[in-house]
Amino acid sequence: MLYRVIDASEIPLLVNAFMESYEVVAPVETDQGVNFEVIDSPDEMKLDYISTVVSPKKYFLPPKEELFRFDAQANEVLPTCVEFPKRVIFGMHSCDINAMNRLDLVFKDCERPDPYYVGRREATLIVGVSCMPGENCFCRLWGADEARYGYDLFLTDIGGKYLVSMSSVEAANILERSCNPRVATDEERQAFRNQTRRRQQSFNADIPEIQEVALLMDAFHKDPFWEELGGRCLGCTACSAVCPSCFCFDIVDEMDPDGRCGSRVRLQDSCCSPDFAVVAGGHNFRPDGRTRVRHRMYHKLNGFLMTHDRMLCVGCGRCVTACKADINPIRVLEFFERKGLDNDE
């Protein structure tokens, strides 16, 4: 991996250089919390944030997107032009970068790539930034606290300076043009090591570290815990809305008011929506909170692991804040922790 060092004071220069040819989005503190937004100046950025309310997945899988236009009376697709704005996401954490890598496995590196997702992915540069964990962060448990690939630049804060990992030629060119990247000194390399150790030791020790989560989920598939956890689900889909790796969607036709033309649109959906698993004829394969929440936890902590060899959950902790019914993977880990203690007695 190619890496250099720049001063923290050079960050605005880098951002301005990106702004010359890209739309730059970055974490911004608003009255609604910290969220990714388009910025007009580097001063608006808040790079030292713990988490955003909603993940940057919205730039790749928007809550609503038009797939194509159609003429319903003639029953045909109309010429449609889909735009993919050139964009830089500046300040993405490792958890979110890892979530994007998982989404790539479903939408890009697969048998039937999704051209809308691929178009956005190809038009977007990602500049990652290091972080310190909050009390709800458990990315470390799934190896999502490091971004091994999936970014164009990654900035690790080493105190007044940044160690920059350079991954793409395009981003490296912009970096070299706008800043003065230099080879790291021994001190700077040591500062990086100190930073990683500090971060490692800052994770919330109360979140249990459990081995064999996937197999434990199979073993306790019928445990009454799932009624206790899922029974309080409000069916609000907030968890999926904020989650960086949730990708379920619905496809619907929306007619124009004149009843002639319309759009086929894709909408974000969630397996926790009460009617998600309804089939033609009305039967619902997951009719209650217990089965739906269990299914979602399965997909995050077991199913995806079996099919793609990595956890779909990246431990970002957003659902811990977003769920008003206190349902999240930490509660599942605590359940397994309790199960372990019971057996010891």
Ranges within 97-116 binding other proteins (CB under 8 A): 101, 104-116
Q: Least distance to other proteins from the beta carbon of 166, Å?
A: 10
Q: Is 224 in the site for other proteins (CB under 8 A)?
A: no
Cα-Cα-Cα-Cα torsion 87, 93, 95, 100, nearest 10 degrees, comes to 10
Binding mask 282-301 for other proteins (x = CB under 8 A): ---x---x-x---x--xx--
Q: Is 255 in the site for other proteins (CB under 8 A)?
A: yes
Question: Residue 288 in 3-state DSSP?
Answer: coil
Q: Which amino acid is at 302?
A: N
- Nearest to residue 55, comparing CAs of 238, 251, 225? 238
Q: Least distance to other proteins from the beta carbon of 293, Å?
A: 11
Q: Which is nearer to other proteins, 174 or 191 (CB)?
A: 174
Q: Is 123 in the site for other proteins (CB under 8 A)?
A: yes
| H helix or E strand, kind and range, residue 215 | helix 213-219
Q: Which is nearer to other proteins, 13 or 105 (CB)?
A: 105
Give 275's contacts (C-beta < 8 A, 6+ positions apart): 284
Q: Which is nearer to other proteins, 7 or 223 (CB)?
A: 223
Q: Is 256 in the site for other proteins (CB under 8 A)?
A: yes
Q: Which is nearer to other proteins, 58 or 339 (CB)?
A: 58
Contact between residue 90 and residue 18 where contact means Cβ atoms under 8 Å apart:
yes
Q: Which is nearer to other proteins, 193 or 260 (CB)?
A: 260
Residue list 54-93, contact with other proteins (CB under 8 A): 54, 58, 63, 67-68, 70-86
What is the residue-wise DSSP string for 39-70? -SSGGG---S-S--SS-GGGGTS-SEEEEEEE
Q: Is 228 in the site for other proteins (CB under 8 A)?
A: no
Contact between residue 36 and residue 25 where contact means Cβ atoms under 8 Å apart:
yes
CA gap 104, 107 in Å, rounded? 5
Q: Is 96 in the site for other proteins (CB under 8 A)?
A: no
Bridge partners for 156 per DSSP = 163
Q: Is 160 in the site for other proteins (CB under 8 A)?
A: no
Q: What angle do CA 332, 334, 335 make, to 5 degrees?
A: 65
Residue list 2-41, contact with other proteins (CB under 8 A): 31-33, 35
Question: Residue 101 in 3-state DSSP?
Answer: helix
Q: Which is nearer to other proteins, 72 or 132 (CB)?
A: 72
Return the residue of 132, 306, 338, 340 that touches other proteins, per CB under 8 A. 306
Return the residue of 60, 302, 314, 335 that touches other proteins, per CB under 8 A. 302
Name the pairing type of β-strands 124-129 and 87-92. Answer: parallel
261-268 sheet: strands from edge to edge: 76-78, 64-71, 261-268, 249-255
Please count the residues of this chain forming the interface with other proteins, following the rule CB under 8 A: 120
Q: Least distance to other proteins from the beta carbon of 90, Å?
A: 13
Q: Which is nearer to other proteins, 8 or 214 (CB)?
A: 214
Residue list 311-340, contact with other proteins (CB under 8 A): 322, 324-326
Q: Least distance to other proteins from the beta carbon of 7, Å?
A: 24
